Amino acid sequence: MARRYRSVPFWVKGGYHRGMPVNARQRLLTTAEELFYAEGVRAVGVERILSASGVGRASFYRHFAAKDDLVVAVLRGRDERWRAWLADRVAAHGGGPLAVFDALAERFVRQDFRGCAFINTMVEAADPDSPAHRVAAQHKSAVTGYVETLLSTAGVAEPASLAAEFTLLMDGAIVTALRERSAAPATRARAVAAVLLASADRSPG
């Protein structure tokens, strides 16, 4: 059993000059997230993460009992930041439900775009009961819930079913962008969503 990180240690205050980012745990999370997203969880060994982050092998297992725990921690962090990013970009694009596709379009044109980390996780972690797969599925539920609030705010009478369709379109756009590598799938999905939104019932008022 590896010991766990407890509180803020000494070197976050003073000038710690050994590694760049704050502490070992944070460096591991940041480095692993990059590598996992770019090449896949299974394709990236612990050694790669250690050399890329400059963290010692023992330090790794002091913070994470196993590689799988790092994977889950990375996914949880990405889930939070991704949804915060989405809310930010939606607001920047007017705050309407269709803005989620404008946000996706921004991601698709990045040259480091490699699809959705959570879809990729559900593909790689085949077992639906595995912790990583569960976290990925939870992320999708959370996104669907967020889209539902957007639709509700926009005055859609029964936002739940339309939110499910929006999420399906988002996932379809992401997977399509994986091979088209352009913003086109986002605008395509947006156009479809616009048709759905236009024909949706509006709540009174």
Partner DNA sequence: TCAGGTCGGTACCGATCGGTACCGACTGGG
Partner DNA sequence: CCCAGTCGGTACCGATCGGTACCGACCTGA
Query: Given the rule CB under 8 A, which residues bind a second copy?
Result: 38-40, 42-43, 114-115, 119-120, 122-124, 126, 128, 136-137, 140, 161, 164-165, 167-176, 178-179, 181, 185, 188-189, 191-192, 195-196, 199
CB of 106 to a second copy, least distance (A): 18
CB of 85 to a second copy, least distance (A): 20
Looking at the Cβ atoms of 55 and 70, the one nearer to a second copy is 70
Residue partners of 92: CB distance under 8 A and separation at least 6: 99
Looking at the Cβ atoms of 2 and 38, the one nearer to DNA is 2
Tokens 């963290």: give the residue. 55
Looking at the Cβ atoms of 54 and 96, the one nearer to DNA is 54
Tokens 């502490």: give the residue. 23
47 binds, among DNA, a second copy, none (CB under 5 to 8 A by kind): DNA
Are 48 and 59 contacting, i.e. CB atoms less than 8 angstroms apart?
no
**Where in 61-90 is the site for DNA (CB under 7 A)?**
61-63, 65-68
11 binds, among DNA, a second copy, none (CB under 5 to 8 A by kind): DNA
**Where in 7-66 is the site for DNA (CB under 7 A)?**
9-11, 13-14, 18-19, 23-25, 27, 42, 44-48, 50, 54-63, 65-66
100 binds, among a second copy, DNA, none (CB under 5 to 8 A by kind): none
Tokens 């399509």: give the residue. 176
Residue partners of 152: CB distance under 8 A and separation at least 6: 159
